[in-house]
Amino acid sequence: MAKVIVVTSGKGGVGKTTSTAAIGAALAQTGNKVVVVDFDVGLRNLDLVMGAERRVVFDFVNVIQGEATLSQALIKDKRLENLYILAASQTRDKDALTKEGVEKVIEELREKFDWIICDSPAGIERGAKMAMHFADEAIIITNPEVSSVRDSDRIIGILDSTTAKSQRGEKMEKHLLITRYAANRAARGDMLNTDDILDILSIPLVGIIPESEDVLKASNLGAPITLSSPNSNAARAYSEAVKRLQGEKIEVTVPKDKKGFFDWLMGRSGS
């Protein structure tokens, strides 16, 4: 049965789009039919991170407004057979996504795909609420940083009170994904560690993505990190998170501080 997952956070810049791309690709790599949907009307970026920016003809808003059919707007990934992208529009009209329109598109996507991963815009405005409204489950992206954790707490509250699922009296399943985790800084006590974050937010942890330069390199190239460097620590962490999403019971390992030989020789801590 198709599953709709919203990737959300309160604060901007924590890695929602990067994570959507990485998770979508990892799910598709395991044989699922996946579509990643950009809900950030006005400021789209998922197409860029997925490397599809030069192939967008029609977008989400065109489909809602009847200017194109869904199959015309779905962009097939060049690397993976069963991965598709639905781009956001750059229209300035923030009200272009109507609840009825979004519902119709999501229902149509449910018939075609196994997983629908919705990349939410930051904040708690209309666009973000629209992205989460029809979701079955949510992935909340948090950095080990006070402002990010606080805003995630707010988002969890909104997920529990305003979504279609909550209005039906059901509980939305929530997963916490911690990104940009720097083990050395956490070990030094200069960064909130996983237990601190879990204590505060108290939702189940789906993965910890280590801070890694491979993530930036992947978005430079327009390839999800799980495709461009599948053996990197960050990609492995995403792949494990995806297995947990699919119900596998794998223990979450907290990234350890690995000092390089040169760092050790120079007597400084790696960054």
Partner 1 sequence: MSFFSNFFSKRNTAPVAKDRLQILLAHERSSAQGNSDLLQKLQKEIMAVIQKHISIDQEKIHIKVDRGNDFSTLEIDIEVPQQDNIQS
- Residues near partner 1 (CB under 8 A): 48, 53-58, 62, 67-69, 71-72, 90-91, 216-217, 219-222, 260, 262-263, 270
Distance CA(159)–CA(241), nearest Å, equals 21
Closer CB to partner 1, residue 123 or residue 222?
A: 222
Residue positions counted in the chain = 271
Closest residue by Cα to residue 171 from 212, 138, 209: 138
Asked if 174 contacts 45 with a C-beta cutoff of 8 angstroms, the reply is: no
Q: Max CA-CA distance within the chain?
A: 63
Question: Residue 242 CB, nearest distance to partner 1 (Å)?
Answer: 24
User: Residue 49: helix, strand or coil by DSSP?
Assistant: helix
Closer CB to partner 1, residue 247 or residue 260?
A: 260
Distances (CA, A) of 45 to 181, 196, 268: 23, 31, 37
Question: Residue 236 CB, nearest distance to partner 1 (Å)?
Answer: 19
Question: Residue 113 CB, nearest distance to partner 1 (Å)?
Answer: 17
Closer CB to partner 1, residue 168 or residue 262?
A: 262
Closer CB to partner 1, residue 90 or residue 147?
A: 90
**Residues 6+ away with beta carbon under 8 Å from 200:** 149, 153
Asked if 250 contacts 177 with a C-beta cutoff of 8 angstroms, the reply is: no
Angle subtended at Cα 149 by Cα 3 and Cα 194, rounded to the nearest 5 degrees: 85
Closer CB to partner 1, residue 131 or residue 215?
A: 215
Question: Residue 251 CB, nearest distance to partner 1 (Å)?
Answer: 30
What tokens appear for 238 in the block? 């995403």
Question: Residue 240 CB, nearest distance to partner 1 (Å)?
Answer: 24
Closer CB to partner 1, residue 72 or residue 147?
A: 72
**Residues 6+ away with beta carbon under 8 Å from 231:** none
Question: Residue 217 CB, nearest distance to partner 1 (Å)?
Answer: 4
